[in-house]
Amino acid sequence: MSDTLRSAERRGPFEWELPVGAVPGMRVPGRYFLSESLAATLEEGALRQLANVATLPGIVRCSLAMPDIHWGYGFPIGGVAAFDQDEGVVSPGGVGFDINCGVRLLATPLAEGDLGEKAGVIEDLYRAVPVGVGARSPERLGKAELRGMLEDGAASAVSRGLGLERDLERCEGRGRMEEADPTAVSEKALARGLPQAGTLGAGNHFLELQVVDEVYDPVAAAAFGIEAGTVAVMIHCGSRGLGHQVCTDYVRTLESAARRYGIALPDRQLACAPIASPEGRAYFGAMAAAANYAWANRQTITHHVREVLGQRFGLAPEDLPLVYDVAHNIAKFEEHDVDGQRGPVCVHRKGATRAFGPGTPGLPPGLDRVGQPVIIPGSMGTPSYVLRGTEEAMRLSFGSTCHGAGRVLSRSGAKRRFAGKAVREDLQRRGILVRAPSDAAIAEEAPGVYKPSGEVVRVVDAVGLGRLVTRLRPIGVIKG
């Protein structure tokens, strides 16, 4: 056992803390939430990253990690950290390369039996939504439309007829960050983003047909528009090559800036700059623009999903309402209580999602009494869950919770252990159809690559980082 792991102190049934001093230079403790079984998969590298984040200037309260914690770039995935807006820093490693990788859920009036030949539905969706590393949009967007995506997010797609006005109400922040600065986005990033609007991408991105097979909180489920026994559609993707390039560009810029501002970094992957500095403002503006692109991207995919289901089942867009859309990899200015005082902080969520509780300003009408919908995907063969945000999350984690099950194997390790063809056939025997560009893509995302989603959400619910509302069983998956 390493010194870092040895220094961890148990604070409750599911709460652990790394005290100041676990690694040199920590300004605040590190805190994480795990069950005994999840702790058995905890990587030393992820825990050290959690402690390293606690060394950054202006961090407030503590460095946090959610129950899906695993090793990432700079910050652990599942990491949450808030920084004082005057004395703190902003870090690309605290957001990630896939800026605003996020997930949205569509409700439908269909039962599983209404789908008929399920393979045909999956095939139609696969043709309608481009997938894979080099996926290109069938749309021919110009620079004006791209700028609209960067400035206005989901609203830019709705304005072009790719959605409903109500969709914006059901997006975190109405699917837009007002701090977006397209002029801070490089020409290379713009060139990568121009042909990729409305594409799913690769890696862990997916489009999944699911059945609502358990309702734990009927009141919240009704408020969200989710009904037991119905089919739902989950979409998980982000800002594609544009967001990746923004992160790549600014990791280099902010690594130099950190040296200029005299910031000592325990890990160069924590490249950062003061929030108020020119470099910090430029990154934040570019990151916000990439986040807006991601919301527009998911909105465009939503439109194509509605087209397919509308044509097959005679449904109007209004029959396929958006339950909610949440961001996973993002930094935002928010109001939170710190040391008994409420004030603005810059909250980094890296593989973590908002879980704002009842009464939080900005929640859509009808949801302010129950809390924000929280969408936690499983893997291809395991359930996904919808939870609601809580007052406990506001107090414990700056209104944050986990974003998924969390990997336990790298992609290369997954391909060594699993055969894509065998995974696909096993899932088919369980009634789950999988469509992907290759068997290698399936192997990389095999259910065994991830922590058990049920155990992750059990911890979330027990701690109060979210409260269970519904469980969703996968029946058809399109992988990027």
Q: Residue by residue, what is the 3-state secondary structure of the chain?
A: CCHHHHCCEECCCCEEEECCCCCCCCCCCEEEECCHHHHCCCCHHHHHHHHHHCCCCCECCCEEEEEEEECCCCCCEEEEEEEECCCCEECHHHCCCCCCCEEEEEEEEEEHHHHCCHHHHHHHHHHHCCECCCCCCCCCCCHHHHHHHHHHCHHHHHHCCCCCHHHHHCEHHHHCCCCCCHHHCCHHHHHHHCCCCCCCECCCCEEEEEEEEEECCHHHHHHHCCCCCEEEEEEEECCHHHHHHHHHHHHHHHHHHHHHCCCCCCCHHHCCEECCCHHHHHHHHHHHHHHHHHHHHHHHHHHHHHHHHHHHHCCCHHHCCEEEEEECCEEEEEEEEECCEEEEEEEEEECEEECECCCCCCCCCCCCCCCCEEEECCCCCCCEEEEECEHHHHHHHCCEEECCCCECCCHHHHHHHCCHHHHHHHHHHCCCEEECCCHHHHHHCCHHHECCHHHHHHHHHHHCCCEEEEEEEEEEEEEC
Query: Can 236 be counted among the known catalytic residues?
Result: no
- 72: domain range? 3-408+450-479
Does 92 map to a domain?
Answer: yes
Query: Is residue 424 in some structural domain?
Result: no
- 77 assigned to some structural domain: yes
Tokens of 120: 């045909």
CATH number where 463 lies? 3.90.1860.10
The pLDDT score that the predictor gives to residue 64 is: 98
Instruction: Give the per-residue pLDDT at 1.
Output: 44
pLDDT, position 405: 87
Q: Which of 304, 336, 348, 403 is catalytic?
A: 403
Asked whether residue 93 is domain-assigned, the answer is: yes
Asked whether residue 467 is domain-assigned, the answer is yes
CB 158 within 8 A of CB 165: yes
Q: Is residue 462 part of a domain?
A: yes
If we measure between CA atoms, which residue out of 386, 451, 420 comes closest to residue 211? 386
Q: What pLDDT shows up at residue 137? A: 80
The low-confidence residues of the chain, meaning pLDDT below 70, are: 1-5
Handedness of CA 121, 127, 128, 132 (dihedral sign): positive
User: How many domains, the chain?
Assistant: 1
Q: Does residue 441 form part of some domain?
A: no
Distance CA 42, CA 242 (A): 31
- pLDDT computed for residue 414 by the predictor: 86
> What span, in angstroms and rounded, lies between the C-alpha atoms of 367 and 364?
6
With both helix axes pointing from N to C terminus, report the angle between 143-152 and 278-313 in degrees, rounded to the nearest 10.
100
Q: State how far the Cα of 33 lies from the Cα of 31, in Å rounded to an integer.
A: 7
Is residue 392 assigned to a domain?
yes
